Amino acid sequence: MTGFTPTGKLHLGHYVGNLENLLKLKSEYDEYLLLADTHALGAKNFNYKDVRGYALDNLLDLLSVGLSENEVSYYVESDIPEIYELASLFSMYVSHNRALRNPTIKDEIKMKGLGDQFSLGFINYPMYQAADIMCVKGELVPVGKDQEAHLEQAREISETFNKMAGQNIFPYIKTLIGRVGKLIGTDGNPKMSKSLGNTIYLSATIEEVKEKVMSMYTDPTRLHSTDPGHVEGNPVFIYLDAFSKDQDKEQIENYKNKYREGKVGDVEVKRYLITILENFLSPIREKRKEYNDEEKLLKILKEGTEKVREESIKTLKEVKQILNFRY
Amino acid sequence: MTGFTPTGKLHLGHYVGNLENLLKLKSEYDEYLLLADTHALGAKNFNYKDVRGYALDNLLDLLSVGLSENEVSYYVESDIPEIYELASLFSMYVSHNRALRNPTIKDEIKMKGLGDQFSLGFINYPMYQAADIMCVKGELVPVGKDQEAHLEQAREISETFNKMAGQNIFPYIKTLIGRVGKLIGTDGNPKMSKSLGNTIYLSATIEEVKEKVMSMYTDPTRLHSTDPGHVEGNPVFIYLDAFSKDQDKEQIENYKNKYREGKVGDVEVKRYLITILENFLSPIREKRKEYNDEEKLLKILKEGTEKVREESIKTLKEVKQILNFRY
């Protein structure tokens, strides 16, 4: 089980962060993919009217990378009221202090420049996230590194309720961090963001890929293509490592050696990266055409939501049973 | 619309605080009465397993004072998941700072000695309360004086969403403070509480009423029954004023005059108060017998909940429409 907050388009960072793991594990697990539309309301400088569009666009991306609706249950958070009741019940057993101590919350406040201008809902995010996972009894959560603290809190909550129940009604929640925990931006910035324009979207056109790669940061200490260059921390090589297939590894090693020796220019390596990214993105682009139909997307959501809602109603009933809330 | 948190039995303070107003207005309004079981989970030193029992006991009291199930819709909060989703959506539009500035929250923290040991859910109470009211489009809320600040916040939220909608989908929420804003305890303490043992329950037996009244505080400056006494601030006279009928007013004035002049003893006035309270409580006690049947109570809750849930689903849909959350 994992989720996305639909405040923008999905990009290469999302792929290596968790989509790759979802693809790898889809035959082994029942997978659930949430579009956390409500969470998007807390985002600063964001028009709430755009949430729906991004939710459908994210869904389209997820289907296009190969997470078919037959293998994954897709759902929108706001269509499952039981998630919010679970979150509310959880919040009675988490101290306000503990919630404010959450390092991810602290980081996000700093990163987004929220100061003390964040919503009450924002502080509740980890409760919703716990409910998102626990409503379907989630066991394994593929996430980016920055979500670890939220999951730690979800784990504490599941332990609290298991203890109250006197039995393990919730499984232990394991985190699965992606192969590339956090992909750096095309400008070398450790944080990818729409406003910085340093991302390559999963839905990027060939032209967009070319433009982004050609303007990519490389090694700032290297002035001429004959200077010895650094491969480590260099976005071009990081992306090459992240998006190449096994058969490309030898060629990449070659380029790395030549780059270190000052025997290859940035432009040549970038052109090679464009090929690698195109090999990666073109099948996604093809599948996108297949699914790009609002009616089809809504039907997929409807089916997933029905399934998840049924499970959530069951889970809420169990939690209410623990509390003796039977009327 | 009003509600009770089922952490204890209802007492005389609840009657003059808002039940009286509910009785007065029941022919004029569609009345809704909520048992906020979830809120009870935040209470300190309180076993969550007792919530259900108190919820049913509160319901029994409410029916017994004359708020029949044909005139009032009764419901339990935890049976309406849509309330929690509404509350969550609201919380995205209330700043964390604003929530902490709520004077009722501050008072309760102080009064209950919570220090910094309160739950995240506790800070969210005003959101649930706003959703409790707004899910049925509540217009008039009979409450005790201490709830004013929560209602102010509900009003702000309804204004925010009306503005977003471009029309008044929520009515202006008016507060109705009881005739006796806050009844003092039998020991003269301005706060009534179970732990102080200074309350008279609506379900008190004759013996309990006698015991409580005979040990009631009166005028601490008066040592002998021939000393001139104070009527103002004197619990015995406050209760006489609060629970007497029109035909008793003359006799009460008599006693007040005699008391001021040192011509009547505490015991005589207390005996009179017992009669007054018995006239008030005995019909309630009778009705209690009629309704005292768990199956009957659960059926009443089920019917009320069904009605309120239907309305809440409609309200949530409207709010989601504003946010463009249509899938």
Residue A101's pLDDT is what?
86
Judge whether B263 lies within some domain: yes
Mean pLDDT score across all residues of chain B: 93
Q: Which residues of A touch B123 (CB under 8 A)?
A: 96, 120, 123
In this structure, the answer to whether residues B219 and B90 fall within a common structural domain is no
pLDDT at B277: 98
pLDDT, tens only, A109-120: 887 788 888 899
Using a pLDDT cut of 90, give the percent of chain B over it: 80
Q: Whole-model pTM?
A: 0.93
User: Would you say residue B180 has pLDDT above 80?
Assistant: no
**Interchain contact, A85 vs B84, CB within 8 Å:** yes
Question: What separation in angstroms does the CA of A148 have from each of A21, A97, B36, B223, B287?
Answer: 16, 18, 34, 68, 56
- Contact between chains at B93 and A41 (C-beta distance less than 8 A): yes
Question: What's the angle, vertex CA B319, arms to CA B318 and CA B325, rounded to 5?
Answer: 95
Q: How confident is the model at residue B2 (pLDDT cuts 50, 70, 90)?
A: very high
Distance (Å) of CA B289 to CA A80, A176, B294: 41, 59, 12
**For the stretch B124-146, what's the b/e string if a residue is b when 16 or more beta carbons lie within 10 angstroms of its beta carbon?**
bbbbbbbbbbbbbbbebbbbbeb
Q: Which CATH number characterizes residue B154's domain?
A: 3.40.50.620
> CB distance B120–A127 less than 8 Å?
yes
- The encoded tokens of residue B57 equal 């006991």
Residues B23 and B79 in one domain: yes
Of the candidates B275, B284, B265, the residue with the CA atom closest to the CA atom of residue B239:
B275
Is the distance from CB of A67 to CB of A109 less than 8 angstroms? Answer: no
* Distance from C-alpha of B122 to C-alpha of B143, rounded to nearest angstrom: 19
Q: How confident is the model at residue A86 (pLDDT cuts 50, 70, 90)?
A: very high
In a domain, A34, yes or no: yes
Distance in angstroms (rounded) separating the CA atoms of residues A31 and B12: 55
What distance in Å separates the CA atoms of residue A202 and residue A200, rounded to the nearest whole number?
Answer: 7
> Do B241 and B138 have their domain in common?
no
Contacts of B302 in chain A (CB under 8 A): 327
Which residue do the tokens 């289907």 mark?
A63
Q: Which is nearest to B16 in space by CA: B139, B176, B133?
A: B176
Q: What is the Cα gyration radius of chain A?
A: 22
What is the pLDDT, as a whole number, of residue B144?
Answer: 75
Annotate B199-261 with three-state secondary structure. CCECCCCHHHHHHHHHCCCCCCCCCCCCCCCCCCCCHHHHHHHHHCCHHHHHHHHHHHHHHHC
Please give the backbone phi and psi of residue B165, each rounded to the nearest 5 degrees, phi first: -75, -20
> A44 Cβ partners below 8 Å, 6+ apart?
A112, A113, A114, A117
| Of B131 and B110, the one with more pLDDT | B131
B84 Cβ neighbours under 8 A, 6+ residues apart = A81, A84, A85, A87, A88, B128, B131
Pair A171, A225 in one domain: no
Q: How many residues does chain B have?
A: 327
Contact B88 A316 (CB under 8 A): no
Residue B262 counted as domain residue: yes
Q: What is the DSSP letter of A201?
A: B
Same domain, B34 and B167: yes
- Same domain for A117 and A169, yes or no, is yes
Distance from chain centroid for Cα B145:
10
Q: A279 with A302, same domain? A: no
> Which residues have a Cβ under 8 Å from the Cβ of B110 and sit 6 or more positions away?
none
Tell whether B127 and B21 lie within a shared domain: yes
State which residues form the domain around A232.
206-287
Give mean pLDDT, residues B65-78.
97
The answer to whether residue A195 sits within a structural domain is no
Give the least confident one: A228-237, B93-102, B144-153, B286-295.
B144-153
pLDDT above 70: percentage of residues in chain B: 100
CB contact under 8 A, B302 and A327: yes
**Structural domain contains residue A197:** no
CB A31 within 8 A of CB A1: yes
Residue of B77, B150, B325, B326 for testing the chain A interface, max A β-carbons within 10 Å = B325
Whether the per-residue pLDDT at B42 is higher than 90: the answer is no
Question: Which of B78, B124, B302 lies nearest to residue A120, judging by beta carbons?
Answer: B124
Helices (H) and strands (E) in chain B, counts: 13, 5
CB contacts of A319 in chain B (<8 Å) are none
Give the nearest partner residue to A325 out of B52, B82, B298, using CB atoms.
B52
- The whole-angstrom distance between B250's CA and the closest CA on chain A is 47
Residues B114-136 have a mean pLDDT of: 92
Cβ separation B91–A120 shorter than 8 A:
yes
Amino acid letter for position A22: L
Give CA–CA dist A231/B177, Å, rounded: 72
Cβ count near A123 (within 10 Å) = 23
Residue A137 lies in a domain: yes
Report the mean per-residue pLDDT for chain A.
93
> Is B89 in contact with A325 (Cβ distance < 8 A)?
no
What confidence score (pLDDT) does residue A235 get? 95
Q: Parallel, antiparallel, or unpaired: how do β-strands A72-76 and A31-35 relate? A: parallel
* Residues of chain A positioned with their CB less than 8 A from the CB of B301: 327
Residue in A with minimal Cα distance to B37:
A325
Report pLDDT digits (tens) over A263-286. 999 999 999 999 999 999 999 999
A300 is a domain residue: yes
Contact between A305 and B327 using a beta-carbon 8 Å cutoff? yes
Partner-chain contact A81 B76, CB within 8 Å: no
- Picking from A59, A250, A121, the residue whose alpha carbon sits closest to that of residue B89 is A121
Across A98-169, the runs of DSSP E, i.e. the strands, are 140-143
| Nearest alpha-carbon partner for B87 in A83, A300, A227, A76 | A83
Q: Is the model's pLDDT at B192 over the cut of 90?
A: no
Per the CB < 8 Å rule, is A81 touching B78?
no
B201: in domain? no
Contacts of A122 in chain B (CB under 8 A): 92, 96
CB contact under 8 A, A324 and B51: yes
* B81·A123 Cβ contact <8 A: no
Among A78, A96, A128, beta carbon nearest to B320: A78
Same domain for A314 and A253, yes or no, is no
Q: Which residue of A has its CA nearest to B39?
A: A92
Are residues A106 and A176 both part of a single domain?
yes
Does residue A272 sit in the same domain as residue A305?
Answer: no
Please give the share of chain A, as a percent, with pLDDT higher than 70.
100
**Residue B61 contacts residue B203 (beta carbons within 8 Å):** yes
Cα A66 from Cα A230, distance rounded (Å): 35
User: How many separate domains does chain B show?
Assistant: 2
Give B124's contacts in chain A (Cβ within 8 Å). 88, 91, 120, 124
Let me know whether A301 and A267 are in one domain. no
Inspect the interface and report whether the beta carbons of A94 and B298 lie closer than 8 Å: no
Q: In this predicted complex, what is the ipTM?
A: 0.92
- Chain A residues whose beta carbon lies within 8 Å of the beta carbon of residue B320: 78
Q: How far is the C-alpha of B251 from the C-alpha of B239, rounded, in Å?
A: 14
pLDDT category, A42, cuts 50, 70, 90? confident
Residues of chain A contacting B323 with CB distance shorter than 8 Å: 41, 48-49, 51, 78
Q: In this predicted structure, what is the pLDDT of residue B57?
A: 98
Confidence of residue B149 (pLDDT cuts 50, 70, 90): confident
SS3 A76: strand
Tracing tokens 């409807």 back to the chain, one arrives at A302
The neighbouring-strand residues paired with A95 are B119
Rounded to the nearest angstrom, the minimum Cα separation between A22 and chain B is 24
- pLDDT of B52 higher than 80: yes
Residue A295's Cβ-count burial label (10 Å; 0-12, 13-18, 19+) is: exposed
User: d(Cα A55, Cα A35) in Å, to the nearest integer?
Assistant: 6
- Range in A137-146, B106-115, B253-262 with the lowest mean pLDDT: B106-115
Contacts of A76 in chain B (CB under 8 A): 325, 327
Pairs across A and B, CB distance < 8 A: 160
Per the document, the length of chain A is: 327
